[in-house]
A and B are shown apart, each in its own frame.
Chain A
Amino acid sequence: MSHLDDPARPAPPLGMLAELTHRCPLQCPYCSNPLELTRKRDELDTATWQRVFAEAAELGVLQVHLSGGEPAARPDLEALVASCVEHGLYTNLITAGVNLPRARLEALAEAGLDHVQLSIQGASAEVNDRIANLPGAFAKKMAFARDVTAVGLPLTLNSVIHRHNLHQLPELVELALDLGARRLEIAHAQYYGWALENRAALMPPREQVMDALALVEAARERLAGKLVIDAVVPDYYARLPKPCMNGWGRQSLNVTPAGRVLPCHAAETIPGLAFWDVREHGLGEIWYDSPAFNAYRGTAWMPDTCQRCERHEIDWGGCRCQALALTGEASQMDPVCERSPYHDEVQTLAIVDSSRDEEFTYRRFTNNIIRV
């Protein structure tokens, strides 16, 4: 019987995030990588990644996002792109754009890369380089963006926004247009991993967030057909939770540099879940049968309030990692939801954090935080 004929079987994933490495020249304090970064010696080798791409295509994945850390830190990036292309996968490179010379970009385009997503930390050198903790990064990113469009590849700019760059939103939109980007992602910082550690240094005040939402909405309307603007919402101030990953184990998977397969970036923070490794299991087996992917799949695991809620197949219970981070229990309702008993506490927490003035704990290997 094929998968299509079995209604109880989960649908295959659409997208896969391949975190090729945790090495990165930038040290952004909201990095989505875990606090415990994987070292180079523990990274999957070229042949294993190539097998994973073949298995992903076979499983039904359509798009692969090559990410990190900085994927260009891998000398085999060209071979990995070629492998994705060979298996018919739509290939997206997510890069900081500071260590990818024009010749290498041309080689990637030649290999069949479909799209480039460039991160920018701010709309000026001063803001960008302070957040990335890398002098000269902004100038390199601008040169890289121009290379991308000159080579003929479609460009998305992605900017994570927070208290220190929210005021630059109009300039970010202008910059995207100037650089010839077809798409701009405005992503409010999501408080997991390094961002959770830096929450009191990043959290914007409520009014600033509301102004930003209105501004993005107006820009989106004004620039329809010219620039696609996608926004990741700032959920601490929201009434309803985000549909995190569009549901646990529903549409996408992450492969870490060390080969563990996760339903989302932060899933490894949840205690008691064993994440299977591509070196020991096939990707299809992991997607369909691993206990971690089945732990919060569908709706059966949800608390009563969620089960009875008319939105439970819209927001899929929100985010498990956020429930864990803020309530101590991954199976709790997402505390952002106004029906959660923790909702008021989260709002208060955001307001308190937004008025504090802490220094960044930059993301780097030597800042690994050991929890005991």
Chain B
Amino acid sequence: MNPSAPALAEDAIVRLPRGVRLREDKARGGWVLLAPERVFQLDPVAREVLARVDGERDIGAIVDDLAAAFAAPRERILGDVRAMLADLILKQVLEVA
């Protein structure tokens, strides 16, 4: 992971900044994150995580929800979610609320 990526606490709340939108891409299939002059095509995992980013739930709550929905070990999900969200923050398509 990039060394300048922020460390995200479990009680941190993240949100999409203005100018970034999550939407379905019916023409090509799947979901995308639309940002200034950029389009991020999301894999199904990223889509599941971002669908739970509502600017209200903290990261811990999002991870709990994912662990329940996919019956997977919480610790592993937490690591993956933290890495993914930190990367999106570096790319400036996500911010800490």
- Please list the residues of chain A having a beta carbon within 8 angstroms of any beta carbon in chain B: 3-4, 11-12, 14-15, 59-60, 62-63, 65, 88, 90, 92, 114-115, 117, 152-154, 156, 182-183, 185, 224-225, 228, 230
Checking B4, B27, B92 against A182 with a beta-carbon cut-off of 8 angstroms, the contacting residue is B92
Q: Is B2 within 8 A of A115, CB to CB?
A: no
Instruction: Give chain A residues whose Cβ lies under 8 Å from the Cβ of B6.
Output: 225
Main secondary structure of the interface of B (DSSP, over half): loop
Residues of B within 8 A of A156 (CB): 36-37
| A224 & B2 in contact (Cβ 8 Å cutoff) | yes
- The winner among B18, B19, B39, B89 for most chain A CB atoms within 10 A is B19
Please indicate the chain B residues that have their CB under 8 angstroms from the CB of A92 in the complex: 36-37
Q: Which residues of B contact A185 (CB under 8 A)?
A: 37
Q: Which of B25, B27, B32, B36 neighbours the largest number of chain A CB atoms within 10 Å of its CB?
A: B36
Closest to B90 in A: A225
Q: Are A11's CB and B28's CB within 8 A?
A: yes
Q: Which residue of B lies closest to A59 (CB)?
A: B27
The 7 closest A-B pairs by CB, nearest first: A60-B27, A154-B19, A90-B34, A115-B36, A12-B27, A225-B90, A115-B19
Query: Which single member of A63, A117, A152, A224 contacts B90 (CB below 8 Å)?
Result: A224
Q: Which B residues fall within an 8 A CB radius of A?
A: 2, 4-6, 17-19, 21, 23, 25-29, 32, 34, 36-37, 39, 89-92
Chain A residues contacting B28 (CB-CB under 8 Å) are 4, 11-12, 60
Residues in B whose Cβ lies below 8 Å from that of A117 = 36-37
Q: A12-B27, A154-B17 are in contact. List 10 more A-B contacts (CB 8 A).
A: A11-B28, A60-B27, A62-B23, A154-B36, A182-B17, A182-B19, A183-B36, A183-B37, A224-B2, A224-B4
- In angstroms, Cα B38 to Cα A346, docked, is 32
Smallest beta-carbon distance A55→chain B, Å:
12
Cross-chain pairs A/B with CB under 8 angstroms, 18 sampled? A4-B29, A60-B28, A62-B23, A62-B34, A63-B34, A90-B21, A90-B34, A114-B34, A117-B37, A154-B17, A154-B19, A156-B37, A182-B17, A224-B2, A225-B4, A225-B5, A228-B92, A230-B37
Q: Which residues of B contact A62 (CB under 8 A)?
A: 23, 25, 32, 34, 39
CA A237 – CA B68 in complex, angstroms?
55
Total inter-chain residue pairs, C-beta < 8 Å: 65
Chain B residues whose CB sits within 8 angstroms of the CB of A228 once the complex forms? 91-92
Contact B21 A114 (CB under 8 A): yes
A172 to chain B, nearest CB (A): 17
Minimum CB–CB distance for B94 against chain A, Å:
11
Partner pick for A63 among B26, B39, B89, B91, CB 8 A cutoff: B39
Residues in B whose Cβ lies below 8 Å from that of A15? 39
- When C-beta atoms are compared, the residue in chain B nearest to A58 turns out to be B27
The distance from the CB of A152 to the nearest CB of chain B, in whole angstroms, is 6
What residues of A have a CB within 8 angstroms of the CB of B25 in the complex? 60, 62
Residues of A within 8 A of B23 (CB): 62, 88
Closest A residue to B23 using CB positions:
A88
Bound together, the chains give a CA A60 to CA B41 distance in angstroms of: 14
Instruction: Name the A residues within 8 Å of B29 (CB-CB).
Output: 4
- Which A-chain residue is minimally distant from B27 (CB atoms)? A60
Chain A residues near B36 (CB-CB < 8 A): 92, 114-115, 117, 154, 156, 182-183
Residues from chain B with Cβ under 8 Å of A88 in the complex: 23
A14 touches B2 (CB 8 A): no
